[in-house]
Chains A and B, each alone.
Chain A
Amino acid sequence: MTSLRTPLYDLSADLKARFTEFAGWDMPVQYSGIKHEHHAVRTAAGMFDISHMGKFFLRGQGVLAALQKLVPSDLSPLQPGLAQYTVLLNPQGGIIDDLIIYYQGTDTDGTERVAVIVNAATTDKDKAWMREHLPAAMEFEDGSRDRVLIAVQGPEAIAQLQRVTAEDLAQVGRFGHIAGTVLGQPAWLARTGYTGEDGFEVMVAAATGQALWQTLHENGVTPCGLGARDTLRLEAAMALYGQDISDNTTPLEAGLKWLVHLERAGNFMGRAVLERQMTEGLSRRLVGLQMAGRNIARHDYPVVQAGEAIGIVTSGTLSPTLGYPIALAYVTSAFAKVGQTLAVEIRGKAYPAQVVKKPFYKRSS
């Protein structure tokens, strides 16, 4: 099967990007180099082609109420123009996907308009799940293949985007979003991201996306690939679906308790399991690890303590910002306290590590 290409593929190829197959898409993994791109996002502005992500548009009466049954987060505070990061849960409390629900507004006839952005690798699974569990009368449009989505991230991201849009971006708060224009063409801009920096994610038609990419590049925004996206999100301790969270991990185990609103979210899918975990406690938790030396803990490496396997690394890298290796790992709850020393087994040898606070990196402003 040939891989899908986003409308920005040729522009990335022109920039000599290196590509990799990701979730069925041929995606840029790096342009100038992961570290360089990473630092550009931390200190200036970078842009990512994330057009491969799943983009659903739901329209109908009671869309939010129906979604509420599938997620543990209280959706009632959502106003038009606001978004909620949350997770789809299966009956076992496991995470089907993490996603963002954007409430766009309600028409005079009561039709609610909601956009949902999901992971590329889980687009088909999520679509099937939502269509099965949401009202059949609801309109479900899948824009995953044709819309361009560009993330512009970094301390200079807002200023850079302000040059190409008439909307006052400063008026859009964190997790806010607006329908407007960029380069005079219809666009939808959301103040969300996956880097730990401020910025927007911009959805536009293919041709507008190509023009936006080129304009931002000419204005000095650094093109960034999936490699830097991964190191940036890991420093910010944001979970990567399929690695740090999965169908077999609950949001409580994954450190996403802030998404679980048991008092307010009603009788959502998987609730009983989360309630039980709250009462009985968790057997394992996702923790942040800092390696004592230079050895890098990577996905699937065992975590050990006194010779016993007590966990598994889910993500790990050398932090470009901090200069030392960091990792996320599930460990037995007894060893999950900040300050706990343990070890990661790397190619047969145990290397010391310490449980540290998440996120590893937090922007100062």
Chain B
Amino acid sequence: MALEFPDDLKYLDTHEYARVDEDETIVTVGISAFALDQLGDIVFLELPDVGDTVEKGETFGTVESVKAVEDLKSPVNGDVLERNEAIVVSPEQIADDPYGDAWLIKIKADNLEDLDDAMSADEYREQVEGG
């Protein structure tokens, strides 16, 4: 079964995705289907609190599978507007809908140009499936 990488998202080489909202001010961050497939069963998520500042390329949280702990990197500088409490409580459901219900945090971005060097869906697919 081929993994999906929606075209309207930007992707980091550390496997987070970023979705820019219609007002172009808020960035929703989640984990790509590829990374979730690699990690296997997710058992724990640690996310920043609302109001925390996050920095582009810096760790904002962690995701744990049964076997491994991975840092989560922010795609932009900004402030955390919202975090997905439902997915923190039930992290095992994250792979069911990674691009929908299983988003992690929403960031009020300082500058969307932070995303200019992130990958398109095609570029990301090339990276994870090409090699």
What is the chain A residue whose CB lies nearest that of B59? A347
A34-B67, A227-B67, A298-B69 are known contacts. Are A318 and B44 too (CB-CB below 8 A)?
yes
Q: CB of A212 within 8 A of chain B? A: no
Query: How far is A79 from B118 in the complex, measured between Cα atoms in Å?
Result: 67
- Does the CB pair B40–A295 fall under 8 Å? no
Min CB–CB distance B50 → chain A (angstroms): 19
Query: How far is A227 from B67 in the complex, measured between Cα atoms in Å?
Result: 7
Q: Enumerate chain A residues within 8 angstroms of B55, measured Cβ to Cβ.
A: none
Q: CB of A145 within 8 A of chain B? A: no
Q: CB of B24 within 8 A of chain A? A: no
A295-B46, A347-B62 are known contacts. Are A33 and B41 too (CB-CB below 8 A)?
yes
Min CB–CB distance B22 → chain A (angstroms): 34
Q: Enumerate chain B residues within 8 angstroms of A29, measured Cβ to Cβ.
A: 67
Q: Enumerate chain A residues within 8 angstroms of B66, measured Cβ to Cβ.
A: 34-35, 227, 231, 317-318, 320
Min CB–CB distance A34 → chain B (angstroms): 4
Q: CB of A221 within 8 A of chain B? A: no
Q: Considering residues A18, A33, A294, which has the most beta carbons from chain B within 10 angstroms of its beta carbon?
A: A294
Min CB–CB distance A124 → chain B (angstroms): 26
- Does the CB pair B40–A296 fall under 8 Å? no
Q: Considering residues A30, A227, A295, A318, which has the most beta carbons from chain B within 10 angstroms of its beta carbon?
A: A318
Query: How far is A30 from B69 in the complex, measured between Cα atoms in Å?
Result: 17
Q: CB of B64 within 8 A of chain A? A: yes
Min CB–CB distance A145 → chain B (angstroms): 27
Q: CB of B47 within 8 A of chain A? A: no
Q: Enumerate chain B residues within 8 angstroms of A317, measured Cβ to Cβ.
A: 66
Q: CB of B9 within 8 A of chain A? A: no
Number of A-B residue pairs at CB separation under 8 A: 35
Q: Enumerate chain B residues within 8 angstroms of A296, measured Cβ to Cβ.
A: 43-44, 64, 69
Q: Enumerate chain A residues within 8 angstroms of B44, measured Cβ to Cβ.
A: 294-296, 318, 325
Q: Enumerate chain A residues within 8 angstroms of B64, measured Cβ to Cβ.
A: 296, 318
Q: Enumerate chain B residues within 8 angstroms of A325, measured Cβ to Cβ.
A: 44
Among B33-68, those with CB < 8 Å from A are 40-41, 43-44, 46, 62, 64-67
What is the chain A residue whose CB lies nearest that of B45? A294
Query: How far is A67 from B40 in the complex, measured between Cα atoms in Å?
Result: 42
Q: Enumerate chain A residues within 8 angstroms of B69, measured Cβ to Cβ.
A: 296, 298
Q: Enumerate chain A residues within 8 angstroms of B92, measured Cβ to Cβ.
A: 35
Query: How far is A154 from B92 in the complex, measured between Cα atoms in Å?
Result: 24
Min CB–CB distance A240 → chain B (angstroms): 13
Q: Enumerate chain A residues within 8 angstroms of B40, measured Cβ to Cβ.
A: 18, 30, 33-34, 227
Give the residue of A34, A230, A347 whose beta carbon is less than 8 angstroms from that of B41.
A34
Query: How far is A30 from B40 in the complex, measured between Cα atoms in Å?
Result: 9
What is the chain B residue whose CB lies nearest that of A228? B66
Among A258-313, those with CB < 8 Å from B are 294-296, 298
Q: Enumerate chain A residues within 8 angstroms of B67, measured Cβ to Cβ.
A: 29, 34, 227, 230
Query: How far is A318 from B64 in the complex, measured between Cα atoms in Å?
Result: 10
Query: How far is A29 from B65 in the complex, measured between Cα atoms in Å?
Result: 13
Among A211-266, those with CB < 8 Å from B are 227, 230-231
Give the residue of B43, B46, B62 whose beta carbon is less than 8 angstroms from that of A318.
B43
A-B contact pairs, 10 of them (CB 8 A): A33-B40, A34-B65, A35-B66, A227-B40, A227-B66, A295-B46, A296-B64, A318-B64, A318-B66, A325-B44
A34-B40, A34-B66 given; 5 more Cβ-contact pairs under 8 Å: A295-B44, A296-B64, A318-B44, A318-B66, A325-B44
